Amino acid sequence: MTIKENLALPVGTTLDRFIMRKQEDFPYATGELSQLLRDIALAAKIVNRAINHAGLTDIGGAYGKQNVQGEDQQRLDIVANIRFIRALRNGGEVCTIVSEEEDGLIQTGNHKGRYIVAIDPLDGSSNIDVNVSIGTIFSVYRRLSDQGADGTIEDCLQKGTEQVAAGYIIYGSSTMLVYTTGNGVNGFTYETSLGEFFLSHPNITIPAKGEIYSVNEGGFHHFPAGVKDYIELCRVRNYSARYIGSLVADFHRNLLKGGIYMYPNTQKSPLGKLRLLYECNALGFIVEQAGGKASDGKNRILDLQPNELHQRCPLYIGSKEMVEEVEALLMPRKVKDRSLAAV
């Protein structure tokens, strides 16, 4: 390719330019939400650099402490948590942050900030040391309390239906930021040499039905009967079992290709394991905007009322027809036909 031909190639649409064009989608924000999304993108670039250097610097491995969930913290968990909090605090648009890594509310001191952010700074971080894709998940809400003071617990415990934006960043073979503001879903791939996110996946829609099911089948014997029945159906139908163990990575693949991700409640975890505020709400908002569905097995995820910051719930999310099929199998029935005759 000649220099002239190379220069004629379009560079593409950057995240910043895309956000500016879409500001009319949320005129009430007068630019604040746009700035907030840029702050998240900046922190994502910094975290991406740290992840790529994890094998070369002393930031991999366990930190030696547990988070509020009782899970072992990785050093990069701490790095990501600090970076995102710092970016959101410095950006000035967020009054309060809640993080999966922190016990309570994180007040930024931005008393005029109009937004609340709930974030899982580094989902799947236990996979860092084995070079598996990991991610960041975030939700954005408008504050309910009056400006001029810190945000309140009521600001943070809003239903998923009240989200004004949500997204995730996946750090893998390429780094992508996928987000929605309630007007469809768009994905941006990070171009490292230019230091910019470029629109690569416009108007993402998930197929209504897929042939991938993602669940940790190691817990099969502890799953509800309806989930066992559905897994058996998937096996008979020769669906592909794909489970990475990083929620963002499993969700991202199914969003693009069609499929269902399941994390049921079990005898050991009767309320489920995933966090409603930090994981389920954000991904539920995204999947619905892409034409899919998110459920706890009975109820729409976005309709659930959070009662505490670290509330857990089961999650069935992905292609709409597949989620509805699981819901039907989980419904109580007087006589359950456990045969596979209707496959």
The CATH number given to whatever domain includes residue 280 is 3.40.190.80
Question: Domain check: are 197 and 220 in the same one?
Answer: no
Q: Is residue 337 part of a domain?
A: no
Question: pLDDT at residue 47 above 70?
Answer: yes
Q: Which residues make up each annotated binding site for Mg(2+)?
A: 100, 120, 122-123, 279
CATH number assigned to the domain comprising residue 42: 3.30.540.10
- Assign 30 a pLDDT band (cuts: 50, 70, 90): low
pLDDT of residue 129: 77
pLDDT digits 0-9 by tens, 264-296: 999 889 999 999 999 999 999 999 999 999 999
Q: Is residue 65 part of a domain?
A: yes
Q: Is residue 41 part of a domain?
A: yes
Q: Is residue 335 part of a domain?
A: no
Question: Domain check: are 194 and 252 in the same one?
Answer: no
Question: Domain check: are 183 and 288 in the same one?
Answer: no
Calculate what percentage of the chain has a pLDDT beyond 70.
86
Q: Which of 172-176, 229-233, 298-302 has the lowest mean pLDDT?
A: 172-176
Range of the domain at 88: 9-201
- Assign 31 a pLDDT band (cuts: 50, 70, 90): confident
Give the dihedral of Cα atoms 77, 83, 86, 87; nearest 10 deg: -130
Q: Is residue 223 part of a domain?
A: yes
Q: Which residues make up each annotated binding site?
A: 100, 120, 122-126, 216, 243, 273, 279
Mean of all residue pLDDT scores within the chain:
89
Higher pLDDT, residue 20 or 328: 328
* Boundary (domain end) residue, out of 179, 201, 223: 201
Question: pLDDT at residue 2 above 90?
Answer: no
Question: Domain check: are 191 and 218 in the same one?
Answer: no
CA–CA separation, 249 and 127 (whole Å)? 11
What letter does residue 291 receive in the DSSP assignment? T
Question: Domain check: are 18 and 167 in the same one?
Answer: yes
Q: Is residue 338 part of a domain?
A: no
Over residues 115-135, mean pLDDT: 89
CA–CA separation, 305 and 13 (whole Å)? 37
Q: Which residues make up each annotated binding site for substrate?
A: 123-126, 216, 243, 273
* Boundary (domain end) residue, out of 201, 231, 247: 201
Token duo for residue 326: 């699981």
Question: Domain check: are 45 and 183 in the same one?
Answer: yes
Question: Domain check: are 87 and 235 in the same one?
Answer: no
Higher pLDDT, residue 265 or 11: 265
Over residues 44-62, mean pLDDT: 72
pLDDT of residue 188: 97
Over residues 177-199, mean pLDDT: 96
Token pair 């496959």 is found at 343
Question: Domain check: are 309 and 170 in the same one?
Answer: no
Nearest to 54 by CA among 158, 126, 111: 126
Q: Is residue 90 part of a domain?
A: yes
pTM, 2 dp: 0.90
pLDDT of residue 53: 79
Q: Which of 54-58, 102-106, 163-167, 225-229 has the lowest mean pLDDT?
A: 54-58
Over residues 142-171, mean pLDDT: 97
Question: Domain check: are 44 and 155 in the same one?
Answer: yes
Question: Domain check: are 229 and 153 in the same one?
Answer: no
pLDDT digits 0-9 by tens, 200-258: 999 999 999 999 999 999 999 999 999 999 999 999 999 999 999 999 999 999 999 99
Structural domain total, the chain: 2
Question: pLDDT at residue 341 above 50?
Answer: no
* Boundary (domain end) residue, out of 170, 201, 232: 201
Token pair 């998923």 is found at 160
CB 139 within 8 A of CB 166: yes
